[in-house]
Amino acid sequence: MAYRAGGYRVAVIGATGNVGREILSTLAERKFPVSEVIALASSRSAGREVSFGEDQVLKVRDLETFDFTGVDIALSSPGAKVSATHSPRAAAAGCVVIDNTSHFRMDRDVPLVVPEVNPQAIAGYTKRHIIANPNCSTIQMVVALKPLHDAFGIKRVVVSTYQSVSGAGKDGMDELFNQTKGIYVNQPPADFQQKFTKQIAFNVIPHIDIFMDDGATKEEWKMAAETCKILDPAIKVHANCARVPVFVGHAEYVNIETEKPMSEEAARRALKGGEGVIIVDHRANEGYVTPAECSGEDAVYVSRIRKDTTVENGLSFWCVSDNLRKGAALNAVQIAEVLARDYLK
């Protein structure tokens, strides 16, 4: 189906942040049909300029006072508390909000969507006029799991994540940079420690988001709950999430157990047919993808595919993806593309 003639009025909420800037870049790169793009952020950022594509510069407007009447789609990434206020306000004005924060993800009346996995869920946007973008670590995992689940029926997943500091925003990236630089000139890392609970430079922190009563962190809970909502409520997920001193790109080791028997060759065939998945897996030096190579790329890269013989029908693989693109901005824009093409006339 075709896009609406004349394009769409699109607002980008949180336009000055890492994800907001990436959304603007992705909209331009993918030539999303816009009649107007509006950059919104807090009053502190109002008046600043942000780029849209190669040639356009947008002046940031104040989110607090902006009237969403006449706006078709808002892509929102300003933080959960801000979204809790302004996403419903935009929706009440008739705008469809694609919300990149955690606030609406588990709301029963808000679809949680990864277009390669459950695009049909977008139809549920009419209940609240809000569509939720999942957590970055969940997105890349379910893109890789989808073809395997379709072919073999996944019943259990154990995942260990190695998540970059950009997942904590610009402050997280600045902290890694400043701590690393400071160590080389004998400045204590604690002098630059504000975002993370421990030193992040030259370190690994097994703690993302708050701790819950059962000892898991909320990031680990999100991966389990969101996978069930997006892919299949019957899948059991155990997640272990760590923050690593990498600027961009999340990595995950994923172990699955399936209902149906599968050979390694059959698993590879299924993954090769998966939308958004690229296999780079050669059992040799450099025969796999790391976060350094996936930065700026759209795909979820899968490597190190091998049978797990300790369980019946077990498989392990490594997957990496750019968390600012597929893990956030690209996924949101892909949702907007399906929404505009198939639902907004």
Residues 6+ apart with CB under 8 A from 17: 41, 77, 78, 169, 170
Per-residue CA distances from 304 to 27, 125, 192, 213, 320 (Å):
33, 38, 36, 34, 11
> Which active-site residues does the annotation give?
136, 250
Residues 248 and 323: beta-carbon distance below 8 Å: yes
Provide the 10 A C-beta neighbour count for residue 189.
19
- Retrieve residue 330's tokens: 């690209």
Identity of residue 137: S
Residues 6+ apart with CB under 8 A from 320: 140, 249, 250, 251, 252, 289, 290, 291, 293, 294, 300, 301, 303
Please identify which residue in the block is written with the tokens 């331009």.
28
